[in-house]
Amino acid sequence: MRLTVTTLATISILLHNHAFARPTHGIDEGFYLRLSKRYALPPSGILVEPVFDPEIDGLYVNACNFGSGKSYACVERGVYGFFHFNVTGEQESLPSSVAALGKLTYHSTAANKSQAMGLAGHISSDESYAGFGLESVERKIGFRSESKMGIANFYNDTADPPTRLQKPTFAWNWYVCDAEAEGHVYRALTWVHGNVAPTQPSCKGVLVTRIYK
């Protein structure tokens, strides 16, 4: 069956395009995550965003609870999850387009605590599904100046042995894919590893934009 969720917030939202105007340490006041369609990244690495796509525009990221304190980053139309950017500890040397590095967190009412986003997937797939309270490594994220969310990479795996980068790079390999968890079928915010096309035929490339309330 398809999972039904209730809205976590129904108030009006205002888009702030300048991420650097927000605090770069501690926990911010919270935001929504809005999706827009993404074309394949060109060699320049510039994020290409079309004007409008009716299938993708209007979708937001929410947190769907499947029990046991786990929440998956599900995608719904008109349903908003409320997230925070937790910036703590020493900051790495970052690209000029990224103001700070931290964790995406969500306060789970089921677990009664804030949980950081991780990625979980199947061994036979290049896709991993974003979620909170999963048995996975928590991922550090950053936002470009236009508020697009990416995941930091700290290692050069083309070297033998792999070496740690002096300055992390960022990737933006977000997709919306059909997924299944705990018997529920839902649309998932998904990460595709590496420079490959997703194996799941339902996947569509998206950009994830932070929108402050």
pLDDT the model gives residue 178: 93
Q: Is pLDDT larger for residue 15 or for residue 185?
A: 185
- The number of helix segments (H) and strand segments (E) in the chain equals 0, 14
pLDDT the model gives residue 24: 53
β-pairing, 127-132 vs 113-121, is antiparallel
pLDDT the model gives residue 62: 94
pLDDT the model gives residue 7: 25
DSSP at 19: G
Res. 69: pLDDT tops 90: no
User: Per-residue pLDDT tens for 140-199?
Assistant: 999 987 799 999 988 888 889 989 988 888 889 999 999 987 788 899 999 998 888 898
Q: How far is 169 from 33, CA to CA, in rounded Å?
A: 22
Q: Is pLDDT larger for residue 93 or for residue 41?
A: 93
Q: How far is 167 from 144, CA to CA, in rounded Å?
A: 15
Least confident piece of the model among 45-54, 63-72, 83-92, 105-114: 45-54
